[in-house]
A and B are shown apart, each in its own frame.
Chain A
């Protein structure tokens, strides 16, 4: 029996609201398939399942808020039958009722309908509002409260058309301000502020940060980039941010003690290099979804994925792996005009690399003063895991990587196996 649990989507998440199931009992689930949409304090997230099986029962109904780790659904492994699922569920319930102090998950499981597959499915559907995925996505984009939309589809399902109509109606009545929607937006912002506050307070409380900075000459990298971009169609042009990200990913392969997590009093080095890219949201707040396996992608792929990631971060359609798999954070505040940034590590990660604006400066090279574009790279790292000496070597490696931009275009050889989370 496979327990599909609500994953943690970052240090600042301890519960989530199930918005929608994308599977039903009887469905076969493939590895990496998106099976549910869960609302966190920061965003609605497409939650992937990393095990294969057949859905036996959905234990949590849409609109239910549950803690991280709650079993959301049971999946049958090959050879198991629905009867096995029923038995398993009974055992689960029995285990929870035995506990003197019910765990946080107990009431949730107990609240789930009777332990047979059929009624479970029915009652899960009864409490559920049917909303087509496109309608939900559009409503999210528009920040529209779906409660005020009347569904016209089969069984009262809310369709894309319903959403568009509701928006038009709202716009027509715009003279009377829609307080409910404004409140919702304000709630969301307050929630996000709280989530960031919790994660950053934890970081500053628990992580002994040390900080280093290094100005890096960018003339070679930018000249190479300009030359590359002349040859590329507009849609495939590269931004300097992509070179910086790739250089970080490459340098991390040599300094793996900056890439991973500090959990239960020990450092766990990550196998993959998944830099989380800090993306600011227009309504305030930020998310740092992971650019998965950045060390193994060429610049064109990284550019495409970065563009896609930024877009999806802002429209609220990130995948759970992107929020839970970042092994380090990279923040690029250069666009806002600052020269350097010293970040706060996002726990349980152990390092953060910051880049400021690429700026023309007087630079001495071979006894001559020249004007050169310079970017200040900074490292905030966890002193429990690494020391300033290694951190300094990492920044030196980063500088070297950026002096050979053509090498960044290559995909590094690797014999590591791709390990899904």
Chain B
């Protein structure tokens, strides 16, 4: 799976949690939670959605590395089964 495909999946999971998000407007290199109003429950659901779709386990200790959408995509691609 390419980075592009993973990004599309991440965006679709995000859209299911925050339907108001416009994928085009989102800056992939800027902190995600500053651009999208995600509380801790939303964030957990976002990661859970990614876990379900991509079968990647995301330990809590890794949350700090997942700041921008690019971070998330790179992290997932590296850990794809």
Binding site for B on A (CB under 8 A): 226, 229-230, 234-235, 237, 239-241, 280, 282, 306-307, 310, 335-336
Contacts and interface: CB of A to CB of B under 8 A. Distances in A.
Given A229-B60, A282-B20, A237 B41 contact: no
18 contacts: A226-B61, A230-B59, A234-B47, A234-B48, A235-B48, A239-B40, A239-B44, A240-B40, A241-B40, A241-B41, A280-B39, A282-B19, A282-B20, A282-B37, A307-B45, A310-B41, A335-B38, A335-B39
Interface string B16-40: 0011100000000000000001111
Nearest to B38: A335
Chain A contact surface mostly: helix
Interface string B49-74: 00100000111110000000000000
Given A234-B47, A241-B41, 16 more contacts: A226-B60, A230-B60, A234-B57, A235-B51, A237-B44, A239-B41, A240-B40, A241-B40, A280-B39, A282-B18, A282-B20, A282-B37, A310-B41, A335-B38, A335-B39, A336-B39
Which of the four size classes fits the interface of chain B?
Answer: 10 to 19
A335 B41 CA distance: 9
Nearest to A311: B45
Given A226-B60, A229-B60, A307 B41 contact: yes
A221 B55 CA distance: 29
A235 B45 CA distance: 9
- Closest 6 CB pairs between A and B? A335-B39, A229-B60, A234-B51, A239-B40, A335-B40, A310-B41
A335 B33 CA distance: 10
A229 B18 CA distance: 25
For B45, B47, B57, B60, the residue with the greatest tally of chain A CB atoms inside 10 Å of its CB is: B60
A165 B45 CA distance: 29
A240 B43 CA distance: 13
A239 B63 CA distance: 13
A235 B58 CA distance: 11
A346 B12 CA distance: 37
A75 B59 CA distance: 53
Contacts of B19: 282
